[in-house]
């Protein structure tokens, strides 16, 4: 059963006879009798099958409003876009129609975030992670970094220990790259509020080791030390190990170009951008930069000898 108190507790139902082991998220079903449901965009237009939008509820079960809260009532109980003299309630829940006519619940609209110009539904990421057969609970947050940007941090409760790389690969099966979380933190249980909902404020803040996904290894040469300082500057983080993955630390294509420009400016080494995608660690890039420097010196010396 699904439904807010504003629609007299229940608005939709979905009969569950059995659940297959490989089943995806169970939908919230179809409207109960004398109730109507709509999935609308920000312009009150109906969303097609598969498109996410706000779930709105109407019908006989709708309450009159909030007691002594006329402003909140006016905000949430709005004129019915398709029927005169009726109201619908904007639930604030994100959902979409499935091809069979059932409704799939995605999450809260107030859990939308904007990262690098892309609007992201955190509930969609959570649902993808919950498709993993060992994950029982998942919560995704957008966490501010020291540089003022945001990165996606995921908290999971699972039956067995799961590595960040395994979880990242699972998320990337269905999600675009900008929606794949950077940080994965596994907990024994999620903190709950007094009414049984996940207490997002009580979730632990991610640490550097959690972001890097591995054991910290310091720079072992002057070249690696120079790379470390450039990575810290571009990524806006306090600590970087030589085996940390640039993209797992929150790097993206724009930062990659910025970093390659800084490497050329500071170290006088010109590395092709594709090398960062092929070798996204400092240890590997340091070797590449040494090779590129030797190549440059060989060509330069050969040119001078010919003259």
Give start-end residues of each CATH 2.30.38.10 domain in the chain: 5-108
pLDDT at 72: 93
Backbone region of residue 8 per phi and psi (left: phi > 0; alpha: psi in -120 to 50; beta: other values): left
Q: Is 17 exposed, middle or buried (0-12, 13-18, 19+ CB in 10 A)?
A: exposed
Give the residues across from 204 on adjacent strands: none
Residue 213 phi, psi dihedral angles, 5° rounding: 75, 10
Q: H or E segment at 301?
A: helix 282-306
Is 0.75 surpassed by the pTM of this model?
A: no
pLDDT at 20: 67
pLDDT at 207: 64
Q: What is the C-alpha separation between 182 and 164, in angstroms, rounded?
A: 9
* Per-residue confidence in pLDDT tens, the chain, 307 aa: 999 999 988 999 999 987 766 566 789 999 999 999 999 988 889 999 988 899 999 999 999 999 999 999 999 999 999 999 999 999 989 899 999 999 998 877 777 787 766 778 888 888 889 889 899 999 999 887 665 667 788 999 999 999 877 888 888 888 887 788 878 899 999 998 887 788 888 998 876 444 554 567 888 888 889 999 998 888 888 888 888 878 777 777 778 888 889 888 888 888 888 787 777 888 888 887 765 554 443 444 455 555 5
pLDDT at 275: 80
Q: What is the C-alpha separation between 302 and 298, in angstroms, rounded?
A: 6
Give start-end residues of each CATH 1.10.1200.10 domain in the chain: 222-306
At residue 133, the 3 state secondary structure works out as coil
pLDDT at 208: 47
Q: Which CATH number fits domain 5-108: 2.30.38.10, 2.30.42.10, 3.40.605.10, 1.10.240.10?
A: 2.30.38.10
Q: How many CA atoms lie within 13 A of 151 on its CB side?
A: 25
Q: Which CATH number fits domain 222-306: 3.40.830.10, 1.10.1200.10, 1.10.167.10, 1.10.8.60?
A: 1.10.1200.10
Q: Which CATH number fits domain 116-206: 3.30.300.30, 3.40.50.11890, 3.40.50.300, 3.40.50.10860?
A: 3.30.300.30
């Amino acid at each position: 059963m699904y439904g807010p108190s504003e629609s007299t507790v229940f608005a939709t139902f979905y009969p569950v006879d059995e659940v297959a082991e490989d089943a995806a998220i169970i939908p919230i079903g179809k409207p109960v009798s004398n109730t109507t449901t709509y999935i609308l965009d920000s312009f009150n237009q109906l969303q097609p099958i598969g498109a996410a939008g706000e779930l709105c509820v109407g019908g006989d079960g709708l309450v009159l409003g909030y007691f002594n809260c006329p402003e909140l009532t006016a905000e949430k109980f709005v004129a019915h876009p398709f029927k005169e003299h009726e109201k619908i309630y904007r639930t604030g829940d994100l959902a979409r129609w499935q091809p069979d006519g059932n409704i799939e619940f995605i999450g809260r609209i107030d859990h939308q975030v904007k990262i690098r110009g892309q609007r992201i539904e955190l509930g969609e990421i959570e649902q993808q992670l919950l498709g993993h057969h060992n994950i029982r609970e998942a919560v995704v947050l957008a966490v501010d970094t020291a540089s003022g940007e945001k990165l996606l941090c995921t908290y999971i409760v699972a039956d067995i220990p799961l590595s960040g790389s395994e979880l990242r690969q699972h998320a990337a099966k269905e999600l675009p790259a900008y929606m794949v979380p950077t940080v994965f933190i596994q907990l024994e249980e999620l903190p709950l509020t007094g009414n049984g909902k996940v207490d997002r404020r009580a979730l632990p803040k991610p640490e550097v080791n959690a972001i890097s996904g591995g054991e910290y290894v310091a720079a072992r040469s002057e070249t690696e030390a120079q790379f470390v300082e450039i990575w810290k500057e571009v990524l806006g983080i306090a600590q970087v190990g030589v085996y940390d993955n640039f993209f797992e630390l929150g790097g993206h294509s724009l930062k990659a170009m910025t970093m390659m420009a800084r490497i050329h400016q500071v170290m006088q080494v010109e590395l092709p951008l594709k090398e960062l995608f092929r070798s996204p660690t400092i240890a590997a890039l340091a070797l590449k930069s040494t090779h590129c420097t030797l190549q440059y010196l060989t060509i330069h010396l050969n040119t001078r000898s010919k003259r």
